[in-house]
Amino acid sequence: MSGKTIKKILSALLIVKSCFLRCFLILPLAYIVPKRKNLVVFLGHSGLFVDNSKHLFLYVHTVIKRPVDHYFLIEDKQWFERLKNEGLPVIFHPSARSMLTLLRAKVAVVDRHSWVYDFKYHFMFGSRKVQLWHGVGFKKIERDMPESIEYLKTIRGKIYWWLTSRFPKYELLVSTSEFYTKNVFSTGIKYKKCIEAGYPRNDSMFAEPDRLMLLSADVKSIEKIEAAKQAGHRIVIYAPTFRKNNEENFLSAGTLDLERLSAFGREKKMTFVLKAHINTQLQTKIGELPNVIHYDNGSDVYPALRLTDAMITDYSSIYMDYLLLDRPLIFFPYDYEKYVKENGQPQFDYDWITPGPKCLNQAELEREMSEILEKGKDGYAKRRREILNVAFKHKDGRSSERIWSFISEKYL
């Protein structure tokens, strides 16, 4: 028997096992176990304490006076211990307590698709599921992605995604504007109700973050940023997205010379904050360089954005959030054709939806930074406002308030 045949048999057995657990054990439990009226469970990205789920959770924990049983599910032991020591209601998963909590949760709040795996969806089969999502940009998402369309054409793909509930239907989806509701979310994600309330993480850009907000931020880097600002430096954050084949982005050969960037910063009184995407695995360490700060890529960057003067990015949706600050954007799509080919089709014209100059090498980046931050030549202010109005209905830092008011009124 060939190795290929054995792999097929093992794959089939896993599907049978998954089907048995789903249909004859977990789902009956989800039906039998009664839901607790005020029990809300928050699930973050890869079980970490970041992004929209984190920010809405902290809003509920610190602002809401009405008694609500709220818990954040953590899948990282160190983070669990740290947040527990801070007095936050967290539950480690997987554990007997986490599975019982999932079974009894009235509402589940998530901000990714990956929360469904490991049967978490099935434990919460009868719960009201709220999808906050994690960004609006120019790329196709979820069911509209080319690989999703192709995979759903196969019987194996349909069975696998049915078993894992890869594309569940949400009770509530949170959007940022009518444009994104109509053109992205209406076909990319299944939902019963959609509200255009904005993202909880963006609320942190409108006020100074408190101690709990900074728990999952890179506090050491934030302190360095504050020191640089006090020294009269302008702060530029570079926040590229990840590549599916895990290229090193700005550390790739020939893309960005950090020593040269450091020298440029010394000359121009600029400090650069390098923040890789949370999914990026950097193979090369960033050494200590003057005027260059490496912001931990697994940490929450949103509490730091208000301290910056400009942003450089490529295809990351973070630039949309940054529009709320009305500060200059510079785009660095040095590998555009390759990125689109390997990482999915754009849904909108890149030049239209990215309101800032496009640079293809470091020399062009340096020239644009000098023009914008030294000489004050910001030629894209009007275009930023246009795209901001396309992307966001609300621009007031009250997204958590709107979302929680809806959840509380309708589901609790």
Where does the pLDDT of residue 134 fall: very low under 50, low under 70, confident under 90, or very high at 90 and above?
very high
pLDDT value of residue 84: 96
pLDDT value of residue 346: 85
Same domain, 153 and 221: no
248-275 confidence digits (pLDDT tens): 566 665 688 899 999 999 999 999 999 9
Is residue 170 scored above 80 in pLDDT?
yes
Same domain, 279 and 327: yes
Judge whether 306 and 205 are in contact, CB under 8 Å: yes
pTM here? Answer: 0.92
* Nearest alpha carbon to residue 135 among 255, 20, 52: 52
**Residues across the chain:** 412
What's the CA gap between 194 and 186, in Å, rounded?
9
Residue 2 covered by a domain: no
Mean pLDDT value across residues 107-113: 96
Same domain, 315 and 407: no
* Nearest alpha carbon to residue 74 among 100, 106, 41, 103: 41
* Nearest alpha carbon to residue 218 among 162, 282, 141, 275: 275
Where does the pLDDT of residue 235 fall: very low under 50, low under 70, confident under 90, or very high at 90 and above?
very high
Residue 5 covered by a domain: no
Task: Say how many domains are in the chain.
Answer: 2
Average pLDDT, the chain: 89
Is residue 377 scored above 60 in pLDDT?
yes
Residue 12 covered by a domain: no
Residue 8 covered by a domain: no
Residue 7 covered by a domain: no
Residue 171 covered by a domain: yes
- Report cis status (omega within 30 of 0) of the bond before 328: no
Same domain, 133 and 252: no
Same domain, 227 and 367: yes
CA angle 275, 370, 340 (to 5 degrees): 45
Residue 10 covered by a domain: no
Which domain covers residue 108, as residue numbers? 18-203+396-411
Question: In the chain, helix, strand, coil percent, each to 5?
Answer: 50, 15, 35
